[in-house]
Structure 1
Amino acid sequence: MSSIIPPPLQGNIRDLIRAPRLAFNAKKVWLLVPVVLTGWLIYTGALYAGYALSGVSIREVWDTFAFFPPLSRGLTSWGWVVVISGLVVALVLLLLGSTGIAKITAEQLRGDDFYPVRETWQFIRENATRIVLSPLLLILFFGMLIFGAWLISFFGRIPGIGPLLLALLTIPAYFYGMFTLLIGAVAGIALIFSPAVTVLTTGDTFDALFDYFWIGVYELGRLLIYLPYALLLGMGAALGLGAVSVLIFTLLGTIAVAVNGIPLLEMIAAARHYLPLEFLGQTVSSGGGFAAFVMGMGFIFTVTICVAYGWTTFIIATLLFFNGVYFRREGQHQLQWQWIDDEPEPVQPATSTAPDAPPPSS
């Protein structure tokens, strides 16, 4: 039970500024860290498997990029299938973990600061189908529309009347493309807001689809403002924690190098090989032995914490945004503070309603 009642939510963009503070919570970040690590390892393993199927030297890729290999145009068709499969599994894990973050935050805003992680995972298991299926249906529908447009394009190959048929389909194709664009946008909305919708509403998959279309149609203006703001908050949170982490490692490294000298400096340089330095336009050759590998894993774990904090901030911002959407549509907040008291109220003794006895006679 929390005795500190936070200020009420306004249902507008001012609520989102609370996201970094609400995300700065060890329970939320630690819930997401293993999800991010597992998802990244699955995606990286799928990428290396795709390289192997495509005939690319895995040793050369590892020596240059380690755990952060880039996508390559040298992948064959089967290589792309493996990579996309790994990416889908990683995204599903991220959706489930993000729902856990949204659930803990919702219960915190309702007054329960000690909502257990065990019940969070139970909630995820009970709603896993709804979390994953609603975005998946929209993505599959979007893919079918793209495939349909590809088939219609073959009308142009009909001898004689093919170009005329395509010309007659100009206006219908325009509306078809507009509808396809709408479905694609709503599919993206579903991927982003599936955790918030699952936590704040009840119902089946089709009820969730209604919420996604509502956001895309009736809240489009606010979405175009709130979503970049949420992204900026998430990136700012991750970069801010990253800057603090760099400062900490710089201070500790300076002290350690002053004591241990050049060998430690060389090991730190070798450990940097396992970081995504290719993103910054530079690479460091592997080396340094097992100690450098262990230090590199420590660096990657620190980066994961920063990424998890940034993503937690973004998910909480989307939760607060959808709470405002629900408030404008239904007239009530789903994150209204509720006083939670674990101690039962004391039972008052029953009072007698019988008339007083008459005084004894003298």
Structure 2
Amino acid sequence: MFEPEKLHFNFIDLLGAPRRALKGKKIWAHLMGLVVGYPVYAILTYLALWVDGESLSAAWDQYGIYPFFSLFNGQLISVTAWIIYILALLVWLVTTLLASTVVARITYKELKGDQFYTFTNGIAFTRRHWRTMIFSPLAVILIILFFLVMAVIMALVGKIPFLGEVIFMGLYPLYFLGAAFVLYTAVVLAVLILYLPAIIGVWEEDAMGCTFQAYAITWNQTWRAVVYSALIGALAVVGAMLYGWVITAGYHFINWIFGSSWLMGSKLSPILAWAEQVVFSGYNGLFSFIHL
């Protein structure tokens, strides 16, 4: 065991986020989440395109392993296709949240001084709390749906001749408060999804506790959540750029070594050409940095 890391409990602590994030255990955790979740997302997205009548071969030629670009072309039209795509998004979201919970737990243990807390320990912890990960957002969604259903019922009551207008005017203040609460709860849902891995990883809350924490953060820590999230977002961009530069440099270094004439030489070119065609096919202009 090491000494717990000294924290300032303000924005200064956030400046060390890239250093804490760029560690093997945490990169591996998110990589595993990506390996599990993204293929399912991609398959379901292509299924949605196929349901809408899109040729799978043509879609693959256009989007490759990045089928989410199909949204920018407005190719999902039918309700069935959208249902499949929303399911794909949910699968990807859940796997990302589970991987983030592993990372949050590892980070929490490191801050407490336990530098030997392993990726396997994080997986075991997340397995014990996966229900909380799913049912916490579901609870907030059910709250929103309850108020929406009540709004529809009261709107139907409002169709009653004369009496409906009287009831509408008499209950309008309650309708207004209910509408404000639904909008507030929608913001709480976004906050919950953003902070859920950290809430579970640190406090080990159940679904009720996570929901309460999300309401508390939204109401009591509004500006801190906004400013800190923006700062973390900026640091994440910087960290991702640094990590991407290292990955790109490693890619070129491997090509330089293995592509030497006295090693693999020209045998490497067709392998790289095939790999780049798969990875960078479709919208490859976005990935032109890899050739710099």
* Shared fold, TM over 0.5: yes
Deviation of 1:271 (Å):
3.6
1:220 pairs with 222, 225, 237, which one?
Answer: 222
In structure 2, relative to structure 1, the CA distance for the partners of 1:202 and 1:43 (3 Å cut) is closer
1:192 pairs with 183, 191, 194, which one?
Answer: 194
In structure 2, relative to structure 1, the CA distance for the partners of 1:173 and 1:25 (3 Å cut) is same
CA distance in 2, matches of 1:51, 1:190: 31
1:136-155 equivalences under 5 Å are 136-146=138-148, 149=151
Q: What is aligned with 2:64?
A: 66
Deviation of 1:280 (Å):
6.5
In structure 2, relative to structure 1, the CA distance for the partners of 1:279 and 1:9 (3 Å cut) is farther
> Is there any run of 5+ residues in structure 2 with no aligned partner, and where?
none
Aligned 8 A contact 1:68 1:276 in 2: no
Superimposed CA distance per residue, residues 161-205 of structure 1 (whole angstroms, 9 cap, x where no aligned partner): 988987877655443332111100111111111111112214432
**Matched AA of 1:121:** I
Q: What is aligned with 2:88?
A: 86
State TM-score, norm by structure 1: 0.67
Deviation of 1:264 (Å):
5.7
**Matched AA of 1:11:** F
Q: What is aligned with 2:16?
A: 18
CA distance in 1, matches of 2:168, 2:54: 42
- Bigger CA radius of gyration: 1
1:228-239 equivalences under 5 Å are 228-239=230-241
> Is there any run of 5+ residues in structure 1 with no aligned partner, and where?
285-298, 300-362
Aligned 8 A contact 1:40 1:90 in 2: yes
How many residues get paired? 283
Higher helix share: 2
Superimposed CA distance per residue, residues 15-55 of structure 1 (whole angstroms, 9 cap, x where no aligned partner): 11111111121112112202112211111111111122222
State TM-score, norm by structure 2: 0.82
In structure 2, relative to structure 1, the CA distance for the partners of 1:255 and 1:208 (3 Å cut) is closer
Deviation of 1:155 (Å):
7.2
CA distance in 2, matches of 1:222, 1:229: 10
In structure 2, relative to structure 1, the CA distance for the partners of 1:280 and 1:229 (3 Å cut) is farther
CA distance in 2, matches of 1:149, 1:275: 48
Deviation of 1:235 (Å):
1.8
CA distance in 2, matches of 1:113, 1:230: 23
Deviation larger for 145-154 or 95-104: 145-154
CA distance in 1, matches of 2:274, 2:83: 34
CA distance in 1, matches of 2:84, 2:245: 35
Identity across matched positions, percent: 26
CA RMSD of aligned residues (A): 3.3
CA distance in 1, matches of 2:177, 2:253: 60
